Chains A and B, each alone.
Chain A
Amino acid sequence: MAELLFWPALLAYGEAAVAYFGEARRPGLAGRLATWGVRIGWLVQTALLALQAARADGFPWSTWAGSLNLFVWLVVGAYLIWGCQARYRLLGLAVLPLAAVLLALAHAGGGTDVGEKSGYSNLFLVLHVGLVLAAFAGFTLAAALSALYLWQERRLKRREATILRVRAPALARLDELAARTTAVALPALTLGIAVGIARLRDRGGGFDALMAVTLLTWAVYGSYLALRFAAGLRGRRAAYVLLAGFVLVAIVRLALPVTHFS
């Protein structure tokens, strides 16, 4: 049953990714096909997650691959909130290929299987993993917005004559949206870390690399927001800071083992 849901979800995300490339070349039908691909893929993945939750003994996404599956769902869900609007469609070029690749990785690692067992309390994991992953999903979107910002800014700086043919969202909107996304994601990460620290103090345990990089990530995004509101950090430099933060998110998600869960 899980396979029956995984493949359509992956296909839909893949179709959306390809259609977004088509949209970039010739806006119109491809954009609508991409939007429907995202919607259908996300709904099917929601069904997959629901099935995993129903059949799991404990929290079903405590493994590296499982949490990646949940992470993809959160990223696409966050994108769906406003990403399907016509003026932000090009953002799908950054988000959907990433979602398709990460979902395939999650599948390869067994993160889309049903009947997973977890030795951790549900409430702790839901709060800790859920909040941290939601925050990372937000940071991923902020990074996609920043990448789009830098691309659009480069076109304006190069005075590309074709700039009005393939219209990207305006610089000011991308900058503002990335800041808002970060402003929502950072409190989620703060709460997720706080829950983790509370559990660490309660049950004991060591400080590992995952925690260190996560705290560093928090510091980067915290500094970004502080500098933005206190010193007016905006534009290209702000985009670079958000991309640097995303490198840390990628390290946490992909390069480090989920040591304190295993």
Chain B
Amino acid sequence: MSSLVLVGISHHRAPVELRERAALDRERAAALARQLAGETSEAVCLSTCNRTELYLADESAEEAERKAEAALLALEAELGPALYRLRDEAAALHLFRVAAGLDSMVPGEGEILGQVRAAFEAGSTGRVLDRLFREALRAGRKARSETAIGESPASTSSAAAALAEQVFGDLHSRLILLIGAGKVGELAARNFLSRGAEIAFVANRTVDRAAELSERFGGTALPLDRVEEQLVRADVVLSSTSAPGWILDREAVARVVPARRGRPLFLIDLAVPRDLDPAIHELDGCYLYDIDDLEAVVAETLAGRRREAERAEAIVAAESERFREWQAALDVVPAIASLRARAEEIRAAELRRAKLNDAERRAAESVTAAVLNKLLHLPTIRMKEAAAAADGVIYADAVRHLFGLEDER
């Protein structure tokens, strides 16, 4: 029977300097899986920024583990202390948790499910790993659809966009005024763009840098002193400059509010020291969130994810148990098949020896087949039950010994 083996490293025990040396792109991961699988076993290599894991199914667990370890150490000799090794049920449960995002740095993160699917498709799978990965993907989808583990934002940028959606609903065609052309603002702007918003203006101390950004994302480049005049048109203000004082104060925004005719204005201040006067938040229709506010929202949503993770763990455990039962049944299925084949062989031989006319033969065939089925029905059920309860191997060996089936293994 094939044993399931997992050897790998992950963010739990390996720092990024180590993980990056063991990270493989899709082609190299596929090549490694093919090399490890050889002609008789199965292998999948799952390599992401947080983990590199080798899943093998082989007749000999020890041999598979040795091969996987050697392959990983060949990538980076210093991996040794960070390696973990799991077998059978534990290995399956681990993959199910990975697919559900329960083993990720941010619980419930969505990317991992696609990465598991890609690894599966690039792997060299047979009966065991094919079933394992299909079930793991199913468990991952189920955990996400039946819990809210992946619903809340996990970064300040995505929290800012999610909060803007609480003000405007759909962000499609909402206009962004980006103040500051640095990386932080750009990252936050990307989150808004991915939700359909448009960058209308990029304001920066040096207009050249603003023009560079507006060339990539669209919009008009402005110097900082022209920000106020464009506030009337903007729906969202994203500010992240390194200016020592306010870029926008309460009075400046208050002057613009009447011209906005009640349209809400959502302002995000990602700068430290802050760019936007906190008193802007007091104005009717203006909502200002700074970096601390966003981090508080993220902390809350992460806590929510952790609560949901408990529910997701139960789903994953149940799905993993289903796989364990299937895998355990593999122990007894050959024994059951051999037992039935031996019984059928004896029945056929005895019927051949008997001197019967056609009518008698038909009747005898029918009766003996019924007797055989009834006789073997209960042992078959019991063996499958025993397999699910982890006694399968003992029962299977006992049946093989009692009925002389050893040669058919």
Interface presence of A226 (CB below 8 A): no
Q: Tell me the B137-183 residues at the A interface (CB within 8 Å).
A: 148, 152-153, 159, 162-163, 165-169
Interface presence of A238 (CB below 8 A): yes
Q: How far is the CA of A167 from the CA of B148 in the complex (A)?
A: 12
Q: Which residues of B contact A165 (CB under 8 A)?
A: 152, 300-301, 304
Interface presence of A201 (CB below 8 A): no
Q: Smallest CB-CB separation from A176: which chain B residue?
A: B169
Say yes or no: B163 contacts A163, CB within 8 Å.
yes
**Residue count of chain A within 8 Å CB distance of chain B:** 26
Q: With A165-B152, A165-B300 given, is the CB distance from A170 to B262 under 8 Å?
A: no
- The answer, among A170, A233, A235, for a CB contact under 8 Å with B166, is A170
Interface presence of B264 (CB below 8 A): yes
Interface presence of B289 (CB below 8 A): yes
Say yes or no: A156 contacts B166, CB within 8 Å.
yes
- The answer, among B168, B263, B296, B301, for a CB contact under 8 Å with A234, is B263
Q: Give the contact-size bracket for chain B.
A: 20 to 34
Say yes or no: B297 contacts A163, CB within 8 Å.
yes
Q: CB within 8 Å of B: which residues of A?
A: 27-28, 152, 156-157, 159, 161-165, 167-173, 231-238
Q: CB within 8 Å of A: which residues of B?
A: 148, 152-153, 159, 162-163, 165-169, 261-264, 281, 284-285, 287, 289, 293, 296-297, 299-301, 304
Q: How far is the CA of A238 from the CA of B169 in the complex (A)?
A: 18
Interface hub of A152, A171, A173 (most chain B Cβ within 10 A): A171
Say yes or no: B297 contacts A164, CB within 8 Å.
yes
Q: Say whether chain B's binding surface is mostly helix, strand, loop, or mixed.
A: helix
Q: Which residues of A contact B162 (CB under 8 A)?
A: 164
Q: With A159-B289, A170-B166, A235-B285 given, is the CB distance from A164 to B153 under 8 Å?
A: yes
Q: How far is the CA of A234 from the CA of B168 in the complex (A)?
A: 13
Pairs A-B, 9 closest by C-beta atoms: A234-B262, A232-B261, A170-B169, A161-B300, A161-B296, A173-B169, A232-B262, A159-B293, A172-B168
- The answer, among B152, B169, B281, B284, for a CB contact under 8 Å with A235, is B284
Q: Which residues of B contact A173 (CB under 8 A)?
A: 169
Besides A163-B163, A232-B261, 10 more A-B contacts (Cβ < 8 Å) are: A157-B281, A159-B296, A161-B296, A164-B153, A167-B166, A171-B166, A231-B261, A234-B263, A235-B264, A235-B285
Sample of 24 A–B contacts (CB below 8 Å): A156-B163, A157-B281, A159-B296, A162-B300, A164-B152, A164-B153, A164-B159, A164-B162, A164-B166, A164-B300, A165-B300, A165-B301, A168-B166, A169-B169, A170-B166, A170-B167, A170-B168, A170-B169, A171-B167, A231-B261, A232-B261, A233-B262, A234-B261, A236-B284
Q: Which residues of B contact A231 (CB under 8 A)?
A: 261
Q: How far is the CA of A173 from the CA of B264 in the complex (A)?
A: 12
Q: Which residues of B contact A238 (CB under 8 A)?
A: 262
Q: How far is the CA of A159 from the CA of B162 in the complex (A)?
A: 13
Nearest-Cβ distance from residue A170 to partner chain B, whole angstroms: 3
Say yes or no: A163 contacts B304, CB within 8 Å.
no
Say yes or no: B169 contacts A172, CB within 8 Å.
yes
